[in-house]
A and B are shown apart, each in its own frame.
Chain A
Amino acid sequence: MKKVLSVVLTGALAASFVMSACAAETIKIGGIGPTTGPAAIYGSNVKNAMEIAVEEVNAEGGDIQFELEFEDDQHDPEVSVNAYNHLKDWGMQILGGTVTTNPCLAVGAEAVSDNMLLLTPSASSQDVIDTGDNIFQVCFTDPNQGIASADYISNQELGTKIGVIYNSSDPYSTGILSNFLAEAAEVGLDVLDPQAFTDDNSTDLTTQVQACKDGGADLIFLPIYYTPASQILKAADDMNYDVKFFGVDGMDGILSLEGFDTSLAEGVMLLTPFVATATDDATVAFVKAYADKTGGDIPNQFAADGYDVVKALYKACTEAGVTEDMSPSDICEALKEVMTSDDFSYDGLTGSDMTWDASGAVSKAPHGLIIENGEYQPMD
């Protein structure tokens, strides 16, 4: 038994020498996200998109090739750390994950102690990048979405009296709201008292809409996901309340919600990094590749984030001259220097001219979109 094992291992070792001698540098990228369980839709989207991006990178035939292994974490911090350790045993050199916020906080601490570069597609909480200086985000932080929304509403003079309805049991929603309120005060927006609901009572939101109507709001800001947002649109329509709605990236998906009358969403505005119906070349090519891979599925914003993770890492690795025999910690130092340098920027699906500062937060221009004739149209 031992003999067989040692022969196999020696063979593998020899093979790896031979391979490294003739092929380009192969960097091992790990990915972690929920591909099973209640949040599976996010993880699966990221996984598929990362695989597409890796295939594209390897097809380019540059000096750097990527090898991707994506592990399931069931949206559970404990399982996520297990997946991280599993990937470490596999030989991961850079981590492109995790997809969801709470697991990312647990894995982030591990990545900090190993000094492993972590570029998360979609864990959007501020706490994630505060964990360490080797952690970077492709998505906006929740606070940044709130600030960007307040600025956008103020600059475009979209409303005079702003109502807000938010989900108090969701860190995503409260995170956006707190910074929206702070920035709104800064730029002098007239904001009514925010109306709260929780996950458990999100089926009838008439009271909250009524409160906005009574307050005389002509624009309602919705820092929430699209399912409760659809209830709000319906409630406003039922009470003949003519008001404008402004959402954030969680609103993306409202047009594909089953059983929802999309005509109600006419005129809804949202700030989002990605929509699958956009007509630029990169998005069209990606949506097609995604549909080919999955048998017709339409990628959501998480998929686009996942795609950008791989492509941004590729660009950074190329500029940093990363080689496959470098340790994760050395790669991390090299990439950190490149990504935070002034002349590094990356044009991706979720924003052009993306740059990163030392905090790990991304800076990119959000797209303002408006729903017209059942489609997302650029607002500017």
Chain B
Amino acid sequence: MEKKGKMKKTTKTTLTTFGFVAVFWAVIEILTVSGHLSSKLNGLLIPVCAYMIMAISLNLVVGFLGELSLGHAAFMSAGAFAGIFFYTTAGAELPVYVSVPVSFLIGGLAAGILGVIVGVPVLRLSGDYLAIVTLASGEILKNVLCALYIGKDSEGIHMSLKDQFSLGMAPDGKMLMKGAMGITGIKKFANFSVGVVLIVITLIFVLNLMNSRAGRAITAIRDDEIAARAAGLDLTRYKMIAFVSAAVFAGFAGVLYALNYSALVADKFDYNLSINVLVMVVLGGMGNILGGMIAAIILTILPELLRGFSQYRMFIYSIVLIVMMLFNQAPAFVSWRQRLMARIRPKAAGKQDGKEEQ
């Protein structure tokens, strides 16, 4: 890991990435202090942070490991439900500075465990098969959570996958989780600084991992699996490292996200969300962490900025998405952009590497 300093290009990437987060944080703080932050933007801050972490973590799997995962929302969901379950039960009696960090740890742990459970069979597959199996596991988790009823009364905790009545609770019982209604009555804890700290932790981990021995092994597997195996790399191990760490950070993102709302439903974490996060990664450039973060910000805020178009909002959003995708990735646009860059800043023209894998 200490090799990072010697490599000039990676140092530069690291600095710009952290610099971006610092600027992002500073701009929001200045807007808040000077009272220029609208309620709308203020309400979007935590989701933006959560999606940024989601994009960074999915980049590990899609960008660096080169495997297509369509079930990333499942890990977010596992983290959110595990963390919030603790937060609303045992955590409710603890002070916030204890319950919130512990919720994050529990959420990350739950998502990590799910990552191992899904990862062990799934990582034997690759390409389309892996995409389909991750998609399916995400849907399984969603449906199980949608059917899960948990209640607590004087005799302890009751659980059922059928309905609320089969819990057979005493009259003093309290429902903790109500199937399709999820967990309600969460005491909100929305703190932008906590979001930024989480982003920084995620970045430190991911960037260090990528510049380490394991990280080089992971990218080697992406570039040529057969060659990597021939070189004696333990494929399963390195795949698991990438997959499970991505799951853990998705779990953190889930807890952060869920703490921002008073109600948590499993339906939110469906394949649409997985694909949304994937779009952020692809739009930002696979393997490009900074790009993914910027895409996460844009794609979260954009639908809200388009409210002026009333019911055409999501239609315009899709068109903007297509245009952005073309502008970012279409070969003609890329070469046009490079020529433009070359004219403005001759040195910067070479910066476009690392974006065009796959």
Give chain A's interface residues, CB within 8 Å of chain B.
35-36, 71-72, 74, 76-79, 81-86, 88-89, 101-102, 105-106, 108-110, 113, 125, 127, 130-131, 168-171, 174, 177-178, 181, 194, 196, 198
With the chains together, A170 CA to B179 CA distance in Å? 9
Q: Are B165 and A178 in contact (CB under 8 A)?
A: yes
- 4 more A-B contacts (CB under 8 A) besides A77-B265, A82-B304? A82-B43, A89-B39, A102-B181, A194-B165
The answer, yes or no, to whether B314 is at the interface (CB within 8 Å) is yes
The answer, yes or no, to whether B152 is at the interface (CB within 8 Å) is no
With the chains together, A72 CA to B313 CA distance in Å? 9
With the chains together, A171 CA to B303 CA distance in Å? 29
Q: Which residues of B contact A105 (CB under 8 A)?
A: 181, 184, 262-263
Minimum CB–CB distance for A37 against chain B, Å: 9
With the chains together, A75 CA to B38 CA distance in Å? 23
> Which are the 6 A-B pairs with shortest beta-carbon distances?
A109-B262, A105-B263, A85-B43, A85-B39, A88-B39, A85-B40
The answer, yes or no, to whether B154 is at the interface (CB within 8 Å) is no
Minimum CB–CB distance for A327 against chain B, Å: 14
19 contacts between A and B (CB under 8 A): A36-B314, A76-B268, A77-B265, A78-B261, A81-B261, A82-B43, A84-B43, A86-B39, A89-B39, A89-B40, A102-B267, A105-B184, A106-B262, A127-B181, A127-B185, A131-B185, A171-B181, A196-B162, A196-B163
The answer, yes or no, to whether B78 is at the interface (CB within 8 Å) is no
Quick one: given A35-B311, A88-B39, A169-B180, are A77 and B263 in contact (CB under 8 Å)? Answer: yes
Q: Which residues of A contact B146 (CB under 8 A)?
A: 169
From B147, B184, B262, B307, give the contact of A169 (CB < 8 A).
B147
The answer, yes or no, to whether B339 is at the interface (CB within 8 Å) is no
Give chain B's interface residues, CB within 8 Å of chain A.
38-40, 42-44, 47, 146-147, 162-165, 178-182, 184-185, 188, 261-263, 265, 267-268, 303-304, 307, 310-311, 313-314
Q: Are A131 and B262 in contact (CB under 8 A)?
A: yes
Q: Are A106 and B311 in contact (CB under 8 A)?
A: no
Q: Are A109 and B147 in contact (CB under 8 A)?
A: no
With the chains together, A101 CA to B265 CA distance in Å? 11
With the chains together, A108 CA to B147 CA distance in Å? 24
From B42, B179, B311, give the contact of A72 (CB < 8 A).
B311
Output the nearest chain B residue to A128 by Cβ-Cβ distance: B184
Q: Which residues of A contact B178 (CB under 8 A)?
A: 171
With the chains together, A198 CA to B164 CA distance in Å? 14
Q: Are B164 and A178 in contact (CB under 8 A)?
A: yes
Output the nearest chain A residue to B50 by Cβ-Cβ distance: A78
Minimum CB–CB distance for A116 against chain B, Å: 11
Output the nearest chain A residue to B42 by Cβ-Cβ distance: A85
Q: Are A81 and B188 in contact (CB under 8 A)?
A: no
Output the nearest chain A residue to B257 by Cβ-Cβ distance: A78
Q: Are B307 and A86 in contact (CB under 8 A)?
A: yes
Interface residues of chain B: helix, strand, loop or mixed (majority): helix
From B180, B261, B265, give the contact of A170 (CB < 8 A).
B180
| Interface contact tally, CB-CB below 8 A | 91
Looking at B39, B162, B179, the one whose CB has the most chain A CB atoms below 10 A away is B39
Minimum CB–CB distance for B227 against chain A, Å: 43
Q: Which residues of B contact A106 (CB under 8 A)?
A: 261-263
Q: Which residues of A contact B310 (CB under 8 A)?
A: 35, 72
From A77, A127, A177, A178, give the contact of B261 (CB < 8 A).
A77
Q: Are B311 and A89 in contact (CB under 8 A)?
A: no
Q: Are B164 and A174 in contact (CB under 8 A)?
A: yes
Minimum CB–CB distance for B22 against chain A, Å: 26
With the chains together, A131 CA to B184 CA distance in Å? 9
Quick one: given A85-B40, A106-B263, A109-B261, are A36 and B311 in contact (CB under 8 Å)? Answer: yes
Q: Are A125 and B181 in contact (CB under 8 A)?
A: yes
From B162, B184, B267, B303, give the contact of A168 (CB < 8 A).
B162
Q: Which residues of B contact A168 (CB under 8 A)?
A: 162-163
Q: Which residues of A contact B163 (CB under 8 A)?
A: 168, 174, 196
With the chains together, A127 CA to B179 CA distance in Å? 14
Minimum CB–CB distance for A174 against chain B, Å: 6
Q: Which residues of A contact B314 (CB under 8 A)?
A: 36, 74
Q: Which residues of B contact A77 (CB under 8 A)?
A: 261, 263, 265, 268
Output the nearest chain A residue to B301 by Cβ-Cβ distance: A82
Q: Are A108 and B262 in contact (CB under 8 A)?
A: yes
With the chains together, A261 CA to B181 CA distance in Å? 34
Q: Are A102 and B265 in contact (CB under 8 A)?
A: yes
Minimum CB–CB distance for B158 against chain A, Å: 15
With the chains together, A71 CA to B308 CA distance in Å? 10
Q: Which residues of A contact B179 (CB under 8 A)?
A: 169, 171, 174
Output the nearest chain B residue to A44 by Cβ-Cβ distance: B311
Q: Which residues of A contact B188 (CB under 8 A)?
A: 109, 113
Looking at B163, B304, B311, the one whose CB has the most chain A CB atoms below 10 A away is B163
Q: Which residues of B contact A113 (CB under 8 A)?
A: 188
Q: Which residues of B contact A74 (CB under 8 A)?
A: 314
Q: Which residues of A contact B313 (CB under 8 A)?
A: 36, 72
Q: Which residues of B contact A196 (CB under 8 A)?
A: 162-163
Minimum CB–CB distance for B64 against chain A, Å: 28
Looking at A81, A110, A178, the one whose CB has the most chain B CB atoms below 10 A away is A81
Q: Are B180 and A171 in contact (CB under 8 A)?
A: yes
With the chains together, A77 CA to B267 CA distance in Å? 10
Q: Which residues of B contact A125 (CB under 8 A)?
A: 181
Output the nearest chain B residue to A114 by Cβ-Cβ distance: B39
Output the nearest chain B residue to A86 by Cβ-Cβ distance: B40
Minimum CB–CB distance for B264 against chain A, Å: 8
Minimum CB–CB distance for B49 against chain A, Å: 13
With the chains together, A285 CA to B38 CA distance in Å? 41
Q: Which residues of A contact B47 (CB under 8 A)?
A: 78
Q: Which residues of B contact A83 (CB under 8 A)?
A: 307
Output the nearest chain A residue to B188 by Cβ-Cβ distance: A109
Minimum CB–CB distance for B299 against chain A, Å: 13
Output the nearest chain A residue to B312 by Cβ-Cβ distance: A36
Minimum CB–CB distance for A198 against chain B, Å: 8
With the chains together, A77 CA to B165 CA distance in Å? 27
Q: Which residues of B contact A81 (CB under 8 A)?
A: 43, 261
Q: Which residues of B contact A84 (CB under 8 A)?
A: 43
With the chains together, A125 CA to B146 CA distance in Å? 17
Output the nearest chain B residue to A200 by Cβ-Cβ distance: B143
Q: Which residues of B contact A171 (CB under 8 A)?
A: 178-181
Q: Are B43 and A127 in contact (CB under 8 A)?
A: no
Q: Which residues of B contact A76 (CB under 8 A)?
A: 268
With the chains together, A52 CA to B163 CA distance in Å? 40
Minimum CB–CB distance for A223 against chain B, Å: 12
Minimum CB–CB distance for A150 against chain B, Å: 15
With the chains together, A81 CA to B258 CA distance in Å? 13
Output the nearest chain B residue to A130 by Cβ-Cβ distance: B185
